[in-house]
Structure 1
């Protein structure tokens, strides 16, 4: 009897310490509102992966801001990006192909596929991308502003936990390293240096 009472009293405490259950990442189903929602400026906040080819740039990226604008075709977006890699600011232009049939974004640079990702359902001011063409889980978070609420960051961290990624796999950017500060020259690339 005492064992039963102890078990019943201890059960709520044991249940409270269990990690949250992991729901699968749910990609957005692309429709005619998806592309307009993506247009405009975004700030890259954080990325997490164990995929070796991605690690050097993730470790070196101190800041990144990018914008999407309509491409020359309906299924294409132009990307203008400024990124601070260690102490160097680099401007880049590339393309994203939108594959509506499987809700995938394909980043193309110099006519080569750089990465593929699905856009995960979340707040409209967040861009959570699940990178899918690699052997390791990889997730990134971008937002309309560099300030992300605690709740949104917790949502992202819960996704990381469910993918088996840890804080050691996570790389953050900082607005204090914004690129380019006034008067600073950018590295190679033909992107417009004025991001607003």
Structure 2
């Protein structure tokens, strides 16, 4: 009887330590309030994937910042981006994102070719969590209005990772120490202008 009582008393503690159940990722609904919320400058913080072809590329991105602004059509956003891939800064001036209202998806088109597709996941207005959907493996990325993300916001991202079956080992982070200076802010003789694509 003592063993049964010990087991019953210990059961609530064991149940309390179980991880929370995963809620499905909920994409935002694109409308007149959510589209303007996407506009402006973003810093790419981290990305995670189990898709083998994307892992080497993901690991080369040391820093990335991008700006979104209205395109020439209602369902289009233009993007500019500056990133450091390994030791090279690259500036992209002409990316386009198509906004698909019917399934809450952003489609990144570069030179008339689909590069990626992602759903914007509901989260804090200063976060941009993208669930990349045009690959066979789970893939998630986090961007934010500043490169300093609060512990609570990072925990939200990590909870989504966990629910997709991704682990901390699958995450690649960027760093402000690897930021690319804008062309007008070269800091010394060894700095090269960013390559423009």
Q: TM-score, normalised by structure 2?
A: 0.92
Equivalent residue for 1:145?
146
- CA drift at 1:57: 2.0
Equivalent residue for 1:81?
81
Q: 2:195 aligns with which of 183, 187, 196?
A: 187
Q: TM-score, normalised by structure 1?
A: 0.93
Tell me how far apart the structure 2 counterparts of residues 119 and 26 of structure 1 sit (CA, whole Å): 8
Aligned positions of 1:1-196 closer than 5 A? 1-92=1-92, 93-180=94-181, 182-183=185-186, 184=191, 185-189=193-197
Equivalent residue for 1:193?
none
Confirm or deny: 8 A CA contact 1:45 1:141 kept in the other structure: yes
Tell me how far apart the structure 2 counterparts of residues 64 and 55 of structure 1 sit (CA, whole Å): 16
In structure 2, stretches of 5+ residues that fail to align are none
Give aligned pairs, total: 189
Deviations 1:138-180 (A, max 9, x none): 0000000000000110110011011111122110000111112
- CA drift at 1:188: 2.7
Tell me how far apart the structure 1 counterparts of residues 17 and 49 of structure 2 sit (CA, whole Å): 27
Tell me how far apart the structure 1 counterparts of residues 97 and 108 of structure 2 sit (CA, whole Å): 4
RMSD (Å), alpha carbons? 1.1
Q: Which runs of 4+ in 1 moved over 3 A?
A: none
